[in-house]
Every structure is written in structure tokens, then in C-alpha cells.
């Protein structure tokens, strides 16, 4: 009997939550995540409903990233300031409010812990050094100076890197290096990426992907 009562209460609570959700921005955002912008594919096809993304396919994690950061990236794809042929067509029909709503949905998702294969400890040591201490000989400021302690992100300007997929981090750093990503304010990231060696990029991406994300600390 007790279990049945608990089940009833839980069902009631869940029904209440989903009704409450459906009327707020994240609820509208969930609908966009599931349906897309009308011309592109639904976001969940690539980023998943929970925003975990997919490392092998090159789809970044969105879960738990800052709403303002996510909105800025979508606006940049829409305006062409950030270019990517796979991603841009999926948001070019969204208006600002829809971008805020879908960003709020992904920001509210709990980041899922990644299970990653073991890698060389020397590589992870080098990655940790770049992230926490930088490489002063080559004027590389530690990532944590801007991305915050544990690279957990600071406000809307500096995204969380901890737990992001290694392949995506690596790809973005190379994109800045070769000039295909240039939407960062004051070229802050270009200045950093340009001075990183390929080995440092490999190492810092592997290290950051293995760091705990906010929420599962
Ligand atoms: C066909 C696959 C695909 C679909 C569908 C898709 N995306 Fe993406 N998304 C990508 C890829 C690939 C990237 C990385 C692109 C790059 O390198 O700039 C990305 C990047 C992003 C980013 C930037 C993340 C960051 O950390 O800077 C945001 C925000 C985003 N997508 C939101 C969305 C939303 C919202 C939708 C649905 C309206 C959506 N995406 C649909 C593939 C997709
Ligand atoms: C001087 C400040 C600064 C430092 C130091 C810095 N970053 Fe950044 N980084 C930024 C800003 C600002 C952005 C957001 C750019 C935008 O709005 O598109 C960013 C974005 C990124 C992104 C894109 C994340 C995403 O979700 O698309 C990656 C990857 C990244 N930084 C890696 C690094 C690494 C690795 C280091 C250390 C080697 C580092 N950053 C050091 C300022 C900095």
C-alpha cells in the first residue's frame, strides 16, 4: 500500500512539474529542442534531449552551459559571425526569444558524467599544466585565468570547458588557429590558440574533457 501511495504522490508531483514547466521559457525551449527551427533538424538529433552531444560525431555538449553564452553562439551562427555549415542552418529561423528559450532548456539540463578511455598520464600532466599554469615562455595565459577555477566557466562570456568533448575542444582550438572561428570578443581566444602547439592542444583537450563538470562535483 505504501508503495502505491508513494507512486501516486510521485505521479502527481511529476504531472505538476510538467504543467508548470510547459508554461515557462525552458518548457518552450524543450519543444524547440525536440522540433527544431522549422527548416533544420531537431536539436536533439545531434545534441540529444539532455544536451550530452556526441564526441565521435563532433557535436558539443550543451547541458549546463550558461544561457547567455549559448544565446550568443546561436546569434553568431545566425549572423554569420560564427560559421559552420552543419550547425548554422538549424538556428537561422529562430528569433531572439526562441534562442533564449532553447538556451534556457539546455542550460537547465544536468550534465552527464563522461566515461572516457584512459590516456597517457604524461599527456594529461601536460594538459593540466596548460590549463592551470599556462606556458609563460610562449606567452600562453592559463585557461583558468578566464575560464575560471577548474575551467568551470565564468558568467556568459567564458564558457565551461570542463567535461566538454575532447574532439570538440581540439577542433575549436584549431579553428581559431586556422582562422575559421573568429567570433570571440577582442580576439581573446585567437591570441591563445595561435600560440599553442599541436601537442599542447591535444593534451589540454584530453585533460579538460576529463575534469568534473558543475553539477557532478
Ligand atoms: C545536424 C546536427 C546538428 C543539429 C540538428 C543542431 N546542431 Fe548545434 N551544433 C552542431 C555542431 C556540429 C556544432 C559545432 C559547430 C562548430 O564547430 O561551430 C554545434 C554547435 C552548437 C552550439 C555552440 C556550442 C558551444 O559550446 O559553443 C550551440 C549553442 C548549438 N549547437 C545549439 C543548437 C540548437 C539550439 C539546435 C536546434 C535548434 C542545434 N544546435 C541543432 C550540430 C548540430
Ligand atoms: C583571455 C581570456 C581567455 C583565456 C586565457 C582562454 N580563453 Fe578560451 N575563451 C575565451 C572566450 C571569451 C571564449 C568565448 C568566445 C565566444 O564568445 O565565442 C572562449 C571560448 C573557448 C572555447 C570554445 C568553447 C565552446 O563551447 O565552444 C574553447 C574550446 C576554449 N575557449 C579553450 C581555451 C583553452 C584550452 C584555454 C587555455 C589554453 C583558453 N581557452 C584560454 C577566453 C579565454
φ/ψ of 70, rounded to 5, equals: -60, -40
Residue 17 banded pLDDT, cuts 50, 70, 90: very low
Span 176-190, average pLDDT? 94
Q: What is the DSSP letter of 37?
A: S
Question: How far, in Å, CA of 41 to CA of 89, rounded?
Answer: 9
Q: Which atom belonging to ligand 2 lies closest to the Cα atom of 196?
A: 38
Q: Could you tell me the distance, in angstroms and rounded to a whole number, from the CA of residue 146 to the centre of ligand 2?
A: 7
Residue 162 banded pLDDT, cuts 50, 70, 90: very high
Q: How remote is the C-alpha of 54 from its chain's centroid?
A: 11
- Whether residue 169 has its Cβ less than 6 Å from ligand 2: yes
Q: Which ligand is nearest to the CA of 82?
A: 1
**Looking at residue 9, what is its pLDDT?**
39
Q: For residues 82 and 21, which has the higher predicted lDDT (pLDDT)?
A: 82
Number of H-type helices and E-type strands within the chain? 10, 0
Question: How far, in Å, CA of 39 to CA of 34, rounded?
Answer: 13
Question: How far, in Å, CA of 50 to CA of 182, rounded?
Answer: 28
HSE-CB of 53 using CA atoms within 13 angstroms: 24
- Compute the mean pLDDT over every residue in the chain, rounded to the nearest whole number: 89
Same fold? 23-107, 121-209 = yes
Question: How far, in Å, CA of 181 to CA of 194, rounded?
Answer: 12
Question: How far, in Å, CA of 95 to CA of 69, rounded?
Answer: 16
Give the pLDDT confidence of 149-160 residue by residue, as tens digits.
999 999 999 999
Q: Which atom belonging to ligand 1 lies closest to the Cα atom of 94?
A: 38
Name the residue ranges covered by the structural domains of the chain: 23-107, 121-209
- Whether residue 161 has its Cβ less than 6 Å from ligand 2: yes
Give the pLDDT confidence of 85-135 residue by residue, as tens digits.
999 999 999 999 999 999 999 999 998 887 788 999 999 999 999 999 999
CA distances in angstroms from 95 to 33, 37, 89, 106, 113, listed in the order given? 14, 9, 13, 17, 32
Q: For residues 3 and 82, which has the higher predicted lDDT (pLDDT)?
A: 82
Mapped onto helix, strand or coil, the DSSP state of residue 154 is strand
Residue 11 banded pLDDT, cuts 50, 70, 90: very low
Question: How far, in Å, CA of 107 to CA of 177, rounded?
Answer: 28
Question: How far, in Å, CA of 71 to CA of 25, rounded?
Answer: 13
Share of the chain above pLDDT 70, in %: 88
**Looking at residue 25, what is its pLDDT?**
82
Q: Which atom belonging to ligand 1 lies closest to the Cα atom of 65?
A: 26
Span 54-62, average pLDDT? 95
Share of the chain above pLDDT 90, in %: 80
Q: Is the pLDDT of residue 2 over 50?
A: no
Span 32-44, average pLDDT? 94
**Looking at residue 19, what is its pLDDT?**
41
Q: Could you tell me the distance, in angstroms and rounded to a whole number, from the CA of residue 1 to the centre of ligand 2?
A: 55
**Looking at residue 114, what is its pLDDT?**
74
Span 16-22, average pLDDT? 42
Which CATH code is given to the segment(s) 121-209?
1.10.760.10
**Looking at residue 131, what is its pLDDT?**
98
Radius of gyration of the chain, Cα coordinates, nearest whole angstrom: 19
- Reported pTM: 0.91
Distance between start and end Cα atoms, the chain = 37
- What is the CATH class of 23-107? mainly alpha
The set of cell numbers assigned to 207 is: 585533460
Question: For residue 112, which of 34, 2, 214, 1 has the smallest C-alpha distance?
Answer: 214
44 by Cβ neighbours in 10 Å (0-12 / 13-18 / 19+) ranks as middle
Amino acid at each position: 500500500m505504501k508503495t502505491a501511495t508513494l507512486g501516486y504522490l510521485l505521479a502527481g508531483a511529476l504531472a505538476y512539474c510538467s504543467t508548470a514547466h510547459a508554461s515557462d521559457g525552458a518548457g518552450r525551449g524543450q519543444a524547440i529542442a525536440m522540433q527544431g527551427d522549422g527548416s533544420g533538424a531537431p536539436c536533439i538529433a545531434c545534441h540529444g534531449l539532455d544536451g550530452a552531444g556526441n564526441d565521435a560525431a563532433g557535436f558539443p555538449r550543451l547541458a549546463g552551459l550558461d544561457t547567455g553564452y549559448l544565446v550568443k553562439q546561436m546569434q553568431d551562427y545566425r549572423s554569420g559571425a560564427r560559421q559552420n555549415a552543419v550547425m548554422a542552418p538549424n538556428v537561422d529561423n529562430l528569433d531572439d526569444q526562441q534562442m533564449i528559450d532553447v538556451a534556457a532548456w539546455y542550460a537547465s539540463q544536468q550534465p552527464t558524467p563522461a566515461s572516457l578511455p584512459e590516456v597517457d598520464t604524461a599527456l594529461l600532466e601536460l594538459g593540466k599544466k596548460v590549463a592551470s599554469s599556462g606556458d609563460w615562455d610562449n606567452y600562453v595565459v592559463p585557461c583558468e585565468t578566464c575560464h575560471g577555477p577548474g575551467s568551470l566557466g565564468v558568467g556568459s562570456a567564458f564558457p565551461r570547458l570542463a567535461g566538454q568533448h575532447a574532439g570538440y575542444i581540439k577542433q575549436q582550438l584549431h579553428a581559431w588557429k586556422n582562422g575559421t572561428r573568429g567570433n570571440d570578443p577582442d580576439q581573446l581566444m585567437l591570441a591563445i590558440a595561435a600560440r599553442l602547439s599541436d601537442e599542447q592542444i591535444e593534451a589540454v583537450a584530453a585533460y579538460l574533457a576529463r575534469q568534473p563538470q558543475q553539477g557532478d562535483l
